[in-house]
Structure 1
Amino acid sequence: MFHKWSIARRLFVANLLFVLVLTAVFGTFSVVEARDRAYGDAGDRMRAIATSIANNPLVLQAASTPNPSAALQPYALKVTADAKADFITIMAPDRTRWTHPRPEEIGKPYIGTIDPALHGETFTEVTAGTLGPSVRTIAPVKDSAGNVKALVAAGITVRTVDTDVAERLGVIGGIAIVVLFFAFLASWILGRYLRRITRGWGPEQLAQLFAYYESVLHSVREGLILVDTKGKAVMYNDQAAELLGLEPSDVDRSPDAAPKLAELPFGGSLRALFESGRPAHDEIHLTGSRILVVNQAPAIAPLPKRSRQKPPVYGTVATIRDRTEIESLGTELETMKTLSDALRAQTHEHANRLHMIVSLLELGRTPQALEFATKDLELSQQLTDDMVASVDEPVMSALVMGKSAEAHERGVELEVRTSGNSGVRGLEVQDLVTILGNLLDNAIDAAAAGEAPRQVQLDVDARPTGVQFTVRDSGKGIDAGSIEDVLQYGFSTKSSAEDPRGAHGRGVGLALVRQAVHRLNGTMSISNLGSNGNLGGAQFHVVLPAPVSEEEKA
């Protein structure tokens, strides 16, 4: 049954028992101390009374008379009343009483120890007499020669002392009751707080629950990161560490030692999302090499249904899914679609040209037909030869050829200029297609939406140190305040009507270009040509360094 108790109940019972034991111990100590002090105070008071009477010359003078009781009995009764003692007995050295609260006891022998007093010492003892047990002090009465002529016993009954002790015990008991009350109240308040925080669960249940949550945390395939209200990543699982480039999470780490978001190796929109704490649903965020889908919600403590309090927020919980492979497949599919559209455009263009040649032949203008076919072949072959000689990559050449045909179909002139002949060996073709394909798509879209003459220029410079792509267009350019925004995932300057790829394709291309450039350790710059260029639109300049071979690393 004890194992089913909540932490609040256990702490309440333990605290109450502790206070009870502590009160009992200190109460017992206080009782003993009060009793000892009461007896000590009574002894000191009796000593003072007995000594004062023994030093009174009246007692020494009366002791030498034939009937000492006649003078000493009234005196002893008066002092007894004034000093609030129970009895004062003045006696002869042979124990014969001269005074007593009960007159019938006068002349009888004193009951108790007198030997030390006969030797001139004043002492205190607790002994039983005619009035019952009492605390008494016996003092000698000495003459000028130091001889003991009489003895004085001043006492107070134990019953009177115990009454005084009982009064003190009442105060001690009252204090103990007050302490117990406030201890009970504090335990009850603390128990309510703990019951609300732990939801009435016991430590064994919490330990089991923590083990379950820890297992779930590290077994799910999604990344999970918990950020508190101070901007610290208090907990994350192994998948989140892999996706975000973090150190493996230490479950034994104190929350105070959790790293701040500013110390983690990621930034941009993802860090801004975590720092804001706002809810998010299937948002796309890019890191250096990954495309992540992020959901975020506040971590809110549950409250009773009837509670009107605003539930406390402990931070946020974010789940992270890796979409890199899906986007990679989508990019490949988009590349295939681009090449397919290019082939379709080329087929349409060649069909038109073939009809032109056939028509010239039917009209008997063979020289013109031959000249037209030869010129068209030379232009296509020249473009192919230049691309192959420069980048030495058939896929890239096919991409540029297709984009050229697509641009021509949309009324845009694509001018390609190449230099260098070092090729693009060592660079991932998929990344190169992503970079160049998206840049040309945006440039053709911008030029097609602008005024004539509609032109796009592509400069390719392949050197041993790397390759550079420069794409210019004759469009309206990019707003100076939006140059940084165009690289964000989901940002687009085109409406659905202006974008031939539809709403799904907007705001993705340049973000993927930036990610691919970063992955290849390259750089990209964006600028507006304005009056400094022949086209007047936007310019994208990408520099991709040649990868270092294993031999060079060694």
Structure 2
Amino acid sequence: MFGKTPAKEFRFLRHIAFPLRIFLLLLLISLLLMAALGQYLSASFEDYLTNHVRDMAMHQAKIIASNDSLVEAVKNRDSQRLSEIVGKMATGSDFDYVVIGDRNSIRLYHPNPQQIGRPMQWTKPGALEKGESYFITGKGSIGLAMRAKTPIFDEQGKVIGVVSLGYLVSKIDSWRLDFLLPLVGVFVLILVILLLLSWFFAAHIRRQMLGMEPQQIAQVVRQQEALFGSVFEGLIAVDPDGVITAINRNARKMLGLSSPGRQWLAKPIAEVVHPASFFTEHIEQERRDVLCTFNGLNVIANRGVIWSGDELLGAIISFRSKDEISALNAQLTQVKQYVDSLRALRHEHLNWMSTLSGLLQMKEYDQVLAMVKGESQAQQDLIDFLRGFFDDRQVAGLLFGKWQRARELGLILNITPGSQLRHLPEGLDSTEFAAVVGNLLDNAFEACLNYPESDKSIELWLSDEGNEVIIEVADSGCGVPEALREVIFDQGVSTKTDAPGEHGIGLYLIASYVERCGGIITIEDNEPSGSLFTVFIPKVKIIYGSSSNDSDC
């Protein structure tokens, strides 16, 4: 219960803005420092002044006690002579009074004549007998004063009297005030300057913190770290000098950088990414969808500029592998092909139903029955074949759709008897395997359509007997020129020239899947015209060598 009291007492501070708390803290620290410094200077000056007055009083007392005229006057107990001597010595001196007594401490001279003949006060017992000098502070006949007492010796060194020289405490206090008052003024001036500096510092902190509290800044930092970590793209932030201020995990992974990421912070981007021109040149300009190469990786990069008013704070660069985007586009294209196949099937069925409707209205029932039986039997035979020999339903559906698409395009797709697929090769899922087969068939369709002399037939043989899955697609199109066979599977390479920017993805995607699983692709001429694409994919993944470029399937 008692442990919670301080938290409750200072809970109100949470409702004060952080810059104001900084200002109050600096103000409190300044006051404490000024108070401590003032106390130290005051005490030091007090010690200095006390010691100085003591030394000065004792020195003046000894000078007076050693005066020959004064010694002679003390011997003769001549108070009038002593008054004259003391009056001359007091001229130009700052002590307040002098009292002279005989060896028995009976006053021979006193500023107040009425005190002559009376015993001196604050006499140290035995001091005159021993010839000692001493210093005392106390209230005497003149008032509260600091006194220096020293003996008077004759020619034989015998003590014949005593000199008591005093400084009033009131005068010492006035000297102290003369020193402390200007010091207080200086302290007040310094305190005002510290207050102004503290206020400017607090205002600077408020601007730097964008008016946010530390808790809000901590939350923003945690959100930024979470955001950087969750973004699939690579993200790198740099300052205007090209020094890395932030980098996320995906950026390190794509660029081949080791973890943890903090070791890359505060390093020049040129030491981490090669080439680094996209990060450093014309950094004040935003850029969108720029093809770049970072550490040998082809990427599509974007650059956003960070401003604070008119001040450039840096830029943040996001990038993603161009190969991944290309592969994604190819897969989306494959999905589009599925849709096109369904559309073709629907279109054909609509035509077929229109024909049936017309025959029924014409009461040609025999033809309707024959047409229904023939169409249904052909469809059913194909479905039974695909369901019986192709265990993967996605691949079977793809082949059925491609068969329908071929009919719509005026082509003939023949699935060679004996084709079967019981198990997919290790490392390829249904979507990826269907993408391989679908792209091979699409290329065959286009090759036949673009070659007038083609007989419009395409042959497909697919088998998983033995240790490999084999896919053969033969078309009767124009074939693949010898000059392109070595590079036909590179990204962006295509035999089509009508719209180069839209081709060159399908075969690249096929090659990436097959190579990933240790397979091979061959291209041969298909007599009398066309090409024969053959794909060999091991059922069990094979990795050739130990190259770091090989990826897991």
TM range (shorter): 0.5 to 0.7
TM-score normalized with structure 2 length: 0.62
Give the counterpart letter for 2:307 in structure 1: I
Higher mean displacement: 233-242 or 118-127: 233-242
Matched residue of 1:181: which SS? helix
The answer for the alignment partner of 1:104 in structure 2 is 114
Please say if 1:294 is aligned against 2:301: yes
The answer for the alignment partner of 1:340 in structure 2 is 445
The answer for the alignment partner of 1:150 in structure 2 is 161
d(CA) in 1 for partners of 2:330, 2:293: 15
CA shift, 1:300, in A, is: 1.6
d(CA) in 2 for partners of 1:434, 1:551: 19
Q: Taking structure 1 as reference, are residues 345 and 97 closer, same or farther at Cα in structure 2, changes over 3 Å only? A: same
The answer for the alignment partner of 2:314 in structure 1 is 315
Give the counterpart letter for 2:277 in structure 1: A
Contact 2:274/2:295, CA 8 A, preserved across alignment = no
Q: Taking structure 1 as reference, are residues 69 and 416 closer, same or farther at Cα in structure 2, changes over 3 Å only? A: closer
The answer for the alignment partner of 1:544 in structure 2 is none
d(CA) in 1 for partners of 2:325, 2:235: 20
Percentage identity across paired residues of the two chains: 22
Deviations 1:424-458 (A, max 9, x none): 9xxxxxxx6432x85564xx86xxxxxxxxxxxxx
Give ranges in structure 2 of 5+ residues lacking alignment.
1-11, 335-438, 457-469, 517-540, 548-553
> Which of 90, 105, 121 is the equivalent residue of 1:95?
105
Equivalent residues in 2 for 1:357-372, closer than 5 Å = none
Deviations 1:98-129 (A, max 9, x none): 22222222222211124324421111111210
d(CA) in 1 for partners of 2:267, 2:121: 86
CA shift, 1:289, in A, is: 8.0
Give the counterpart letter for 1:191 in structure 2: A
CA shift, 1:350, in A, is: 3.5
Contact 1:91/1:152, CA 8 A, preserved across alignment = yes
Deviations 1:31-80 (A, max 9, x none): 11111211211111111110001101111111122x41110112213323
The answer for the alignment partner of 2:280 in structure 1 is 275
d(CA) in 2 for partners of 1:403, 1:145: 146
Contact 2:66/2:152, CA 8 A, preserved across alignment = yes
Give the counterpart letter for 1:279 in structure 2: E
Which fold has the larger relative contact order, with Cα–Cα distance below 8 Å and residues 6 or more apart in sequence? 1
Q: Taking structure 1 as reference, are residues 228 and 349 closer, same or farther at Cα in structure 2, changes over 3 Å only? A: same
> Which of 219, 222, 225 is the equivalent residue of 1:211?
222
Deviations 1:259-318 (A, max 9, x none): 322222x535xx3222222311233445578654432111222x5xxxxxx2x2221112
d(CA) in 2 for partners of 1:46, 1:215: 78
Deviations 1:108-163 (A, max 9, x none): 22111243244211111112101211111111111122211111111110111111
Matched residue of 1:434: which SS? coil
d(CA) in 2 for partners of 1:288, 1:51: 93
Q: Taking structure 1 as reference, are residues 110 and 294 closer, same or farther at Cα in structure 2, changes over 3 Å only? A: same
Aligned pair count reads: 390
> Which of 137, 141, 158 is the equivalent residue of 1:130?
141
Deviations 1:494-540 (A, max 9, x none): xxxxxx317x549x99xx89x98xx99xxxxxxxxxxxxxxxxxxxx
Please say if 1:22 is aligned against 2:33: yes
Q: Taking structure 1 as reference, are residues 289 and 87 closer, same or farther at Cα in structure 2, changes over 3 Å only? A: closer
The answer for the alignment partner of 2:21 in structure 1 is 10
Q: Taking structure 1 as reference, are residues 249 and 551 closer, same or farther at Cα in structure 2, changes over 3 Å only? A: closer
Give the counterpart letter for 1:181 in structure 2: V
d(CA) in 2 for partners of 1:219, 1:331: 25
d(CA) in 1 for partners of 2:182, 2:240: 50
Higher mean displacement: 179-188 or 156-165: 179-188
Contact 2:241/2:280, CA 8 A, preserved across alignment = no
Higher mean displacement: 150-159 or 2-11: 2-11
Equivalent residues in 2 for 1:456-471, closer than 5 Å = none
Matched residue of 1:94: which SS? coil
Give the counterpart letter for 1:202 in structure 2: E
Give the counterpart letter for 2:207 in structure 1: R
CA shift, 1:329, in A, is: 4.8
Matched residue of 1:246: which SS? coil
Matched residue of 2:63: which SS? helix
The answer for the alignment partner of 1:113 in structure 2 is 123
Contact 2:105/2:161, CA 8 A, preserved across alignment = no
Please say if 1:263 is aligned against 2:262: no
d(CA) in 2 for partners of 1:186, 1:160: 39
d(CA) in 1 for partners of 2:176, 2:32: 22
Higher mean displacement: 281-290 or 122-131: 281-290
Equivalent residues in 2 for 1:364-403, closer than 5 Å = 402=477
Contact 1:225/1:317, CA 8 A, preserved across alignment = yes
Q: Taking structure 1 as reference, are residues 81 and 129 closer, same or farther at Cα in structure 2, changes over 3 Å only? A: farther
d(CA) in 2 for partners of 1:30, 1:416: 96
Matched residue of 1:95: which SS? coil
Matched residue of 2:131: which SS? coil
Matched residue of 2:92: which SS? helix
Please say if 1:230 is aligned against 2:241: yes
> Which of 49, 71, 75 is the equivalent residue of 2:81?
71
Q: Taking structure 1 as reference, are residues 114 and 438 closer, same or farther at Cα in structure 2, changes over 3 Å only? A: closer
Matched residue of 1:155: which SS? strand
Higher mean displacement: 138-147 or 102-111: 102-111
The answer for the alignment partner of 2:45 in structure 1 is 34
CA shift, 1:85, in A, is: 1.0
d(CA) in 2 for partners of 1:141, 1:196: 76
Give the counterpart letter for 1:159 in structure 2: S
Matched residue of 1:82: which SS? coil
d(CA) in 2 for partners of 1:26, 1:326: 70
Equivalent residues in 2 for 1:491-510, closer than 5 Å = 500-501=498-499, 504-505=501-502
d(CA) in 2 for partners of 1:87, 1:329: 108
> Which of 442, 447, 453 is the equivalent residue of 1:349?
453
Equivalent residues in 2 for 1:426-505, closer than 5 Å = 433-435=488-490, 438-439=492-493, 441=495, 500-501=498-499, 504-505=501-502
Contact 2:237/2:247, CA 8 A, preserved across alignment = yes
d(CA) in 2 for partners of 1:156, 1:224: 81
Give the counterpart letter for 1:78 in structure 2: K
Contact 1:50/1:139, CA 8 A, preserved across alignment = yes
> Which of 177, 181, 190 is the equivalent residue of 1:170?
181
Q: Taking structure 1 as reference, are residues 325 and 403 closer, same or farther at Cα in structure 2, changes over 3 Å only? A: farther
> Which of 214, 239, 242 is the equivalent residue of 2:253?
242
CA shift, 1:320, in A, is: 3.0
d(CA) in 2 for partners of 1:288, 1:90: 102
Q: Taking structure 1 as reference, are residues 38 and 552 closer, same or farther at Cα in structure 2, changes over 3 Å only? A: closer
d(CA) in 1 for partners of 2:93, 2:206: 61
Higher mean displacement: 131-140 or 97-106: 97-106
The answer for the alignment partner of 2:199 in structure 1 is 188
d(CA) in 2 for partners of 1:288, 1:33: 69
Q: CA RMSD in A?
A: 3.9
d(CA) in 1 for partners of 2:45, 2:484: 108
Contact 1:77/1:88, CA 8 A, preserved across alignment = no
d(CA) in 1 for partners of 2:27, 2:90: 49
Matched residue of 1:300: which SS? strand
CA shift, 1:23, in A, is: 1.2
d(CA) in 1 for partners of 2:494, 2:208: 59
Contact 2:488/2:494, CA 8 A, preserved across alignment = no
